[in-house]
Structure 1
């Protein structure tokens, strides 16, 4: 069985790219073309990398079975599912239905691409065509939660919605940040990050990639300021990826003052780094933050106050509160944050 690795490259425009490489350091062209298509669709780097990881396991399985990707039929996929469940893939723990469906979704999208462009396959071994639209082909990704025509989709257990936080929990968590560190500078950064994620509904990558020029000027005569979510190339780290479109987010002027206070009074300065949120350690002061650092801080906060909280839960809470205020789901799904009179924001 051949082994494969994921290689990362940097394009001339500073944009990161990912490729699948075999043990002889040859790029797997079939996967490269598909990933290039995903890049053209505007998918985030982390999402494309996730597709590549799934296809890495798929091509390992193909090698094990001595098959070319265009030789696979629906009967063969049963063997692939067993391969996913084995200890040869990922962690040695039992794979959940959700994990299996993630692999199937990636492979289905891969075949959907080649089914559309033609020349390799006539039939997608993962999905079944809708007979009502047998003459119509649409090139798009097949999401793991939208595989209604997938013969092999595993039944997932319904989970309770534990992503939403309530006002009293938000207050307890925010106050609990004070007890995580004796360093006032770190406390100031962590409180700002928490406040920023809750008020804007941004993803953690968007927050960590925010630059010093990405917020409006202080204006004591205004109640509303603006956060500018922009794609900066080259980015410092893949954790700073913007998953959706660039946009302007209206926020309270109080948040703008909080950002400015942190930048001017607490943030360590490093000439070549201009992200707002940076590290405060003795050896890495002023360096940009990564997702791992933020997640550790949220894990410590959750353990300290006894309430589970992650960056994504703050985003989910923000969206839920917008929905409760009467905004449509379509509006919220556009990832536009609106300041409302009934919303709760830190003072």
Structure 2
């Protein structure tokens, strides 16, 4: 059975990428073409790498079954699902419906690409056409054409909504940062990082990728400053990749002054690294930060304070608070960097208290209740 691995590459233009290679270090061309297509669609590197890792397992299964990818049919896909569920794939634990569906979605997208290219396959072995039903009396038309339906989709358990925090929790977490270390400069960096995530709604990758020129000049005569979310090529690490669009985010001038204070007075200086946030430890002082470092800080903070908090929860909280204050969904969509309003709506966790206040304003504007 052939074994495969995911390898990182750098293109001639400095752009980072990934490829799937076999045990002889030969690039799997079928996967390479698909990943290049995803790059052209503007997919983030983390997303592309995730696709590549899923396809690594798929091609391992193909090798085990001695199949070419264009020889697979729906009957053989049952074997692939069994393979996913086995201990040979990922961690040695039971796979959830969501995990299985993720693999299936990747493989379906891979075959969708080759359906479009033509010449390799006649139909997608993962999906079926949702054909309109008909009988001799009626013909039911489908306006948008036949829909692709994942024939093997697994049932997923619904997760509880725990993604928003409340103001008192935010304050306790912020105060708790100083208890994590006796290093005052490190605590200062962590507090600025926490504030930026909470007050801008930036993703963790966008925050770590911010450069020294990506915030506006401090101006005591103005109340509002700007965080510039930009795509920098080449970037230092895949954790700094920009998932969606570039954008300008209005923030308080107080935050801008705090960032500038950190950059000018606290941040270890480096001639080669110009991200705003850098490491402070002796072994890697001045080097750019990565996602796992921040996640470790938040894990320790959550345990210390007794309140679960992740960088993404701060993003959800930011979006929810803005929505509760009456911020337009269109403005919010742009601020959070979403490509659709449906994505923005998933970030809405409106509290009952906010609903009460909003309805009270509605009653007042309407002129009260009936007498």
CA contact (8 A) 1:19 1:27 kept: yes
Once the two structures are TM-superposed, the CA of residue 55 in structure 1 deviates from its matched residue by 0.3
Aligned to 2:286: 286
CA contact (8 A) 2:130 2:148 kept: no
CA contact (8 A) 2:128 2:151 kept: yes
SS in 1 for 2:287: coil
Q: CA RMSD in A?
A: 1.9
SS in 1 for 2:199: helix
Aligned to 1:8: 8
Taking the aligned partners of 1:260 and 1:205, their CA distance within structure 2 comes to 20
Aligned to 1:87: 87
* Bigger mean CA offset, 125-134 vs 33-42: 125-134
The yes-or-no answer on 1:229 pairing with 2:246 is no
Taking the aligned partners of 2:331 and 2:145, their CA distance within structure 1 comes to 29
Aligned to 1:255: 255
CA contact (8 A) 1:17 1:45 kept: yes
Structure number with larger C-alpha Rg: 2
CA contact (8 A) 2:97 2:155 kept: yes
Distance change >3 Å, CA 134–CA 83, structure 1 → 2: farther
Aligned to 2:99: 99
Once the two structures are TM-superposed, the CA of residue 275 in structure 1 deviates from its matched residue by 0.6
Taking the aligned partners of 1:131 and 1:156, their CA distance within structure 2 comes to 25
The higher relative CO (CA closer than 8 Å, separation ≥ 6) is in 1
Aligned to 2:320: 320
Once the two structures are TM-superposed, the CA of residue 245 in structure 1 deviates from its matched residue by 1.1
Taking the aligned partners of 1:322 and 1:9, their CA distance within structure 2 comes to 40
Aligned to 2:268: 268
Aligned to 1:126: 126
Count of matched residue positions in the alignment of Structure 1 and Structure 2: 329
The yes-or-no answer on 1:297 pairing with 2:297 is yes
Once the two structures are TM-superposed, the CA of residue 137 in structure 1 deviates from its matched residue by 8.8
Once the two structures are TM-superposed, the CA of residue 231 in structure 1 deviates from its matched residue by 1.0
Taking the aligned partners of 2:181 and 2:9, their CA distance within structure 1 comes to 38
TM-score by length of 1: 0.91
SS in 2 for 1:5: strand
Once the two structures are TM-superposed, the CA of residue 330 in structure 1 deviates from its matched residue by 5.3
Aligned to 1:242: 242
CA contact (8 A) 2:214 2:228 kept: yes
User: CA offsets, 1:236-287, max 9 Å, x none?
Assistant: 1111111011111111101100100101111111111111100110121111
User: CA offsets, 1:8-47, max 9 Å, x none?
Assistant: 1111111101110011111111100100000000000000
* Bigger mean CA offset, 91-100 vs 129-138: 129-138
Taking the aligned partners of 1:19 and 1:123, their CA distance within structure 2 comes to 25
CA contact (8 A) 1:116 1:137 kept: no
List runs of 5+ in structure 1 lacking aligned partners.
Answer: 139-146, 338-347
Counterparts of residues 85-234 of structure 1 (less than 5 Å): 85-131=85-131, 149-234=149-234
Aligned to 2:364: none
Once the two structures are TM-superposed, the CA of residue 135 in structure 1 deviates from its matched residue by 11
TM-score by length of 2: 0.85
Taking the aligned partners of 1:148 and 1:331, their CA distance within structure 2 comes to 33
